[in-house]
């Protein structure tokens, strides 16, 4: 079962133990902005790659962690 973008990011954030605030700081925006964006799931491919980098993961329309866990 495929999950939506919002859920992918939320699961990956949980796995990486990072917060919306962590992402917001790297993007140069407020936590509220990231919260709103997570509600819509509207992130560009480049932004998704940036989020993956913040988490120490690879992005390929999902997330892959060094321990082999994958979230699609």
pLDDT tens, 23-42? 999 999 999 999 999 999 88
Tell me the average pLDDT across 37-55. Answer: 92
Tell me if 59 sits within 8 A of 14, measured CB to CB: no
- pTM for the complete prediction? 0.76
pLDDT value for 62: 67
Whole-number percent of the chain with pLDDT over 90: 71
Q: Quick one: pLDDT band at residue 60, thresholds 50, 70, 90?
A: confident
Q: Reduced to 3 states, what is the DSSP secondary structure of residue 56? A: coil
Candidate CATH numbers 3.30.1380, 3.30.300, 1.10.260, 1.10.3470; the one for domain 5-71? 1.10.260
């Amino acid at each position: 079962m495929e999950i939506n973008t919002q859920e992918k990011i939320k699961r990956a954030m949980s796995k990486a133990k990072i917060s919306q605030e962590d992402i917001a700081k790297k993007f140069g925006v407020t936590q509220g902005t990231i919260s709103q964006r997570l509600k819509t799931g509207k992130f560009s491919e480049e932004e998704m790659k940036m989020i993956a980098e913040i988490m120490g993961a690879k992005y390929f329309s999902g997330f892959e962690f060094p321990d082999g866990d994958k979230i699609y």
